[in-house]
Structure 1
Amino acid sequence: MIGRLRGNIVEKQPPMVLIEAAGVGYEVHMPMTCFYELPEQHQEAIIFTHFVVREDAQLLFGFNHKQERTLFRELIKVNGVGPKLALAILSGMSAQQFVTAVEKEEIASLVKLPGVGKKTAERLVVEMKDRFKGMHGDLFATETDFTLTSSQPPEAANDAEGEAVAALVALGYKPQEASRMVSKLNKPDADCETLIREALRAAL
């Protein structure tokens, strides 16, 4: 089991980051809420990981804090929620927002997430609410609002929009829907991460 990585960020292609540790490059899938916090490319990062082994693939999921990984692990225990859906849920909502939505039984907020229908949302509320009772009450008590600034030149705007759409599709949105979400923002000078963040925020 790979539980923690410390290394330099070689490449950032949301929602995946390539981290080189001890000469080995690890492809790590991260929720966008964690991706926003990563250092810039070629800088060192420390992430907590969850390793998933399937018949057709071996996948590594990464998080900035142990609490986020704990929530991810509890999510994939819910019937009908796999790693990909859990990744989408934690990309559309921060850990604190998700906990709040579950505790307040905000079904309407949960169904706005890609891949989450009414039955899945209801199941999440019922099962996760019980799981939270067994955790520390302040497990996800703090939430930070990250403000992203654009450092991308205007001529790269089309690339940023394309990358943002691709990332949203990877998170479970349909291509047409992802394209519409990005185009509605009307932020031609924004970088990829900003576009993804704003699109996900607008979807809720």
Structure 2
Amino acid sequence: MIGRIRGILAAKHPPEIVVDVGGVGYEIQVPMTTLFQLPDIGTEVSLVTHFVVREDAQQLFGFVSEVDRRLFRELIKVSGVGPRLALTLLSGMDAREFSRCLQRDDVASLVALPGVGKKTAERLLVEMRDKAGKWLGELSPEMATTVGVAPGPAPDDAREEAEQALVALGYKLADASRLVASVDDSGASSEQLIRRALQAAAPRSQR
């Protein structure tokens, strides 16, 4: 089991990053809530991780917060929720925001995320309230973090990378293109576009 990775951030290809540890590059899937908090490429980074082994693949998922990893692990225990959908959920909201959904029975915010239907959202609220309701309810507003985003690639490349990241999270290409186009402005990095697109996709109750 790989529980933590510390090394040099070598590349960002949302939702995947590469961390160089002693000359070995680890490909790690991260939710957007983690991606937005990462330092510049070439800087040391430390992530808590969850290792998934399947017959056809081995995947490493990374998080800047132990709370987000704990939530990820609880999410994948829910029937019908695999690692990819859990990653999508944590890309659309962090643990603190998910806690609010539990407290408010907020089905709408969950259904707004790609791949989450009404039945899945309702099952998530019921099962997660039993499994994680207590410790999620203890999360404080101070957990919210605002982190500056480093300058990204050229605008055309940024738009394409943002669209690809949204598709990887479960959005249809047409929807991803529409969301990115609706928030695009000159000089925005791919991470800025992804953040804005996810905010635009969220229902008003979550903003």
TM range (shorter): over 0.9
**1:188: how far off?**
2.3
Distance 1:123 1:89 in 2: 14
Answer yes or no: is the 8 Å Cα contact 2:99–2:133 preserved in 1.
no
Match of 1:200 among 178, 198, 204: 198
Partner of 2:205: none
Distance 2:56 2:189 in 1: 33
Return the letter of the residue paired with 2:112. K
Partner of 1:16: 16
* 1:54 is the counterpart of 2:58: no
* 1:122 is the counterpart of 2:122: yes
Partner of 1:73: 73
More helix by share: 2
* Structure 1 residues 4 and 136: alpha-carbon distance in aligned structure 2, compared to 1, 3 A threshold: same
Unpaired runs of at least 5, structure 1: none
Answer yes or no: is the 8 Å Cα contact 1:103–1:125 preserved in 2.
no
Partner of 1:177: 175
TM-score with structure 1 length normalisation? Answer: 0.94
**1:136: how far off?**
6.5
Distance 1:195 1:35 in 2: 13
Partner of 1:168: 166
* 1:5 is the counterpart of 2:41: no
Answer yes or no: is the 8 Å Cα contact 1:95–1:140 preserved in 2.
no
Q: How many residues of Structure 1 are paired with residues of Structure 2 in the alignment?
A: 202
RMSD value over aligned CA atoms?
A: 1.6
Percent identity of equivalent pairs:
52
- Taking the TM superposition and a 5 Å limit, the aligned residue runs for 1:107-146 are 107-135=107-135, 137-139=137-139, 141-146=141-146
**1:131: how far off?**
1.2
**1:187: how far off?**
1.3
Answer yes or no: is the 8 Å Cα contact 2:36–2:149 preserved in 1.
no
Distance 2:11 2:184 in 1: 27
Return the letter of the residue paired with 1:52. V
Distance 2:67 2:53 in 1: 22
Distance 2:23 2:150 in 1: 31
* Structure 1 residues 67 and 147: alpha-carbon distance in aligned structure 2, compared to 1, 3 A threshold: closer
**1:57: how far off?**
0.5
Match of 2:187 among 177, 186, 189: 189
**1:134: how far off?**
4.8
Answer yes or no: is the 8 Å Cα contact 1:150–1:194 preserved in 2.
no
